[in-house]
C-alpha cells in the first residue's frame, strides 16, 4: 500500500512539472515585436492638369529670301552690308547700267517708229475703205491696205514689248530687296562680272519666326492649330518665349515617319535667330478634377495595375483603372479617392495587410499632380 502511494505521488509531481514547463512565460514586455515596413505616403487630391508634348526643332525666319541677279553685268557698287536693315525695294547691289540704258533708248526709238508706221497704215486703211465703198478701188487693193495696217499694229505691239523688256533690264541693274528685313549674306563684290541667276545676297525678316517639329503618331492626335507653345532656346538659357501652333500635317514623312507641326512666334526684339536650336513644349490637352500619379508608384498585382494605400497602420491593395499617360505620370480614372494615403516609397515590399511604419507626414513626397504640364 505504501509503495502504491509513493508511485502515485511521483506521477503527480511529474505532471505538475510538465504542466509548468508548457505554460506561458513571462509578461507582455517579453512578447516579440511585429515587423513593420517603412514607407512614405502622399494624400490623394483631385485637380486640373495639362498634358503637353515636347519636341526639338530649328528656328527659321518667316521670310528667308535668297536674291539672285535678273540682269548680267559688272558690279558697280555693293550698297548693302551684312546686318543692315533694309526695306522692300531698297537697292542692295548696283550693276553697271550703261549698256542697259542704251538698249532702253533704242527700244524707245523703235516704238516711235512703229507708232508712226501704224498711224500711216491706219490712215491709208481709212482712205481705202472710203474708195472701196464708192467703187473706186477693187477688193484686192482694199484687202492689201488692210493687211498693211495689221502688220503695222503687230510691229507697234512688238515695239511696246521691246521697250518694256528694255525698261525692266535697266531696272534690274539695281538689284533690290523684295522684302523688309535684315541682310544676312552678301555674295557680290565690286568689279565682279556676274550673269543672270548669280546669287548676290540673302535677306531675312525675323520679326516672326517659325519652328517645324516632327511628332510621332502617338503625340500628334492631341495637337491642334492655335494651341499655346513655350519655346526654350539653348543659346538663351533661362528665357522663355510664347508661340502658337500654326499647322498640323495630315501625312507622315516617308523617311522619318513623323508628322510636321509648325509653331510660330513673334520676335520683335530679334533675340531669336535663324538656325538656333529650340525646345518646344505644346499645351496639348486639359484635364479637370482628375487624379494623376507617378507611373513608378503603380504595381502589378494579379495581372492588373494597383497601388497600396495606408489604412491606419496596415497596407491595403487598391486596383486601378488607368487613363491618359502624361509623360511619367498617368491619369487614374477609378480606384483612388480624394483623401486616400497612397504609398509612394516602399510599395515594392508590401502585400495586403502588411504592417506599416509611415515616415514623415503625408505629402512630404513629391506632389502627385501634374502641376501645369508634363512632357510626353
d(CA 343, CA 355): 12
Q: Match 491606419 to its residue by C-alpha cell.
A: 312
Q: Do domains 37-50+288-358 and 97-171 have the same CATH topology?
A: no
Whole-model pTM: value is 0.61
For residue 13, the model assigns a pLDDT of 30
Tell me yes or no: is domain 97-171 CATH 1.10.10. Answer: no
What average pLDDT score do residues 316-336 get? 88
What average pLDDT score do residues 156-161 get? 95
Whether residue 269 is predicted with pLDDT greater than 50 in this model: the reply is: yes
Question: Over pLDDT 90: what percentage of the chain?
Answer: 64
Cβ(162)–Cβ(111) below 8 Å? yes
DSSP structure class, residue 336: -
Whether residue 18 is predicted with pLDDT greater than 90 in this model: the reply is: no
For residue 355, the model assigns a pLDDT of 92
Residue 360's pLDDT band (cuts 50, 70, 90): confident
Summarize pLDDT for 29-80 with one digit per residue, the tens. Answer: 444 567 899 999 999 998 888 788 899 999 999 999 999 999 999 999 999 9
Tell me yes or no: is domain 37-50+288-358 CATH 1.10.10.10. Answer: no
d(CA 196, CA 55): 42
DSSP structure string for 148-215: HHHHHHHHHHHHHHHHHHHHHHHHTTEEE-SSSEEEEEE---TT-EE-TT-EEEEEEEEEEEEEEEEE
Give the distance from CA 42 to its chain's centroid: 36
Give start and end residues of each alpha helix (H) in the chain: 2-22, 98-134, 139-171
Whether residue 193 is predicted with pLDDT greater than 90 in this model: the reply is: yes
Give domain limits for the chain.
Answer: 37-50+288-358, 54-62+204-285, 97-171
Cβ(370)–Cβ(331) below 8 Å? no
The CATH architecture assigned to 54-62+204-285 reads: Beta Barrel (2.40)
Name residue 199's beta-bridge partners: 68
Amino acid at each position: 500500500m505504501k509503495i502504491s502511494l509513493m508511485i502515485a505521488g511521483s506521477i503527480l509531481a511529474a505532471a505538475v512539472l510538465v504542466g509548468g514547463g508548457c505554460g506561458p512565460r513571462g509578461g507582455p514586455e517579453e512578447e516579440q515585436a511585429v515587423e513593420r515596413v517603412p514607407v512614405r505616403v502622399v494624400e490623394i487630391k483631385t485637380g486640373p492638369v495639362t498634358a503637353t508634348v515636347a519636341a526639338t526643332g530649328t528656328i527659321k525666319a518667316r521670310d528667308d529670301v535668297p536674291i539672285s541677279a535678273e540682269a548680267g553685268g559688272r558690279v558697280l557698287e555693293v550698297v548693302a552690308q551684312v546686318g543692315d536693315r533694309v526695306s522692300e525695294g531698297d537697292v542692295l547691289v548696283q550693276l553697271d547700267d550703261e549698256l542697259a540704258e542704251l538698249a532702253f533708248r533704242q527700244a524707245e526709238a523703235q516704238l516711235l517708229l512703229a507708232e508712226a508706221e501704224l498711224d500711216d497704215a491706219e490712215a491709208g486703211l481709212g482712205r481705202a475703205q472710203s474708195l472701196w465703198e464708192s467703187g473706186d478701188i477693187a477688193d484686192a487693193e482694199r484687202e492689201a491696205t488692210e493687211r498693211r495696217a495689221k502688220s503695222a499694229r503687230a510691229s507697234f505691239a512688238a515695239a511696246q514689248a521691246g521697250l518694256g523688256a528694255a525698261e525692266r533690264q535697266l531696272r534690274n541693274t539695281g538689284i533690290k530687296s523684295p522684302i523688309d528685313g535684315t541682310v544676312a549674306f552678301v555674295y557680290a563684290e565690286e568689279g565682279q562680272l556676274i550673269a543672270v541667276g548669280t546669287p548676290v545676297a540673302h535677306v531675312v525678316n525675323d520679326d516672326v519666326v517659325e519652328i517645324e517639329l516632327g511628332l510621332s503618331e502617338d503625340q500628334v492626335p492631341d495637337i491642334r492649330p492655335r494651341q499655346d507653345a513655350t519655346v526654350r532656346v539653348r543659346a538663351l538659357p533661362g528665357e522663355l518665349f510664347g508661340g502658337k501652333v500654326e499647322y498640323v500635317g495630315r501625312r507622315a514623312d516617308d523617311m522619318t515617319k513623323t508628322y510636321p507641326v509648325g509653331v510660330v512666334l513673334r520676335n520683335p526684339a530679334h533675340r531669336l535667330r535663324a538656325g538656333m536650336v529650340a525646345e518646344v513644349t505644346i499645351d496639348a490637352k486639359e484635364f479637370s478634377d482628375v487624379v494623376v500619379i507617378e507611373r513608378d508608384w503603380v504595381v502589378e498585382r494579379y495581372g492588373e495595375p494597383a497601388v497600396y494605400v495606408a489604412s491606419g497602420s496596415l497596407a491595403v491593395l487598391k486596383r486601378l483603372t488607368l487613363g491618359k499617360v502624361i509623360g511619367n505620370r498617368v491619369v487614374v480614372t477609378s480606384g483612388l479617392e480624394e483623401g486616400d494615403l497612397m504609398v509612394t516609397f516602399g510599395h515594392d515590399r508590401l502585400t495586403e495587410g502588411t504592417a506599416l511604419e509611415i515616415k514623415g507626414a503625408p505629402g512630404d513626397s513629391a506632389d502627385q499632380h501634374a502641376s501645369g504640364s508634363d512632357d510626353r
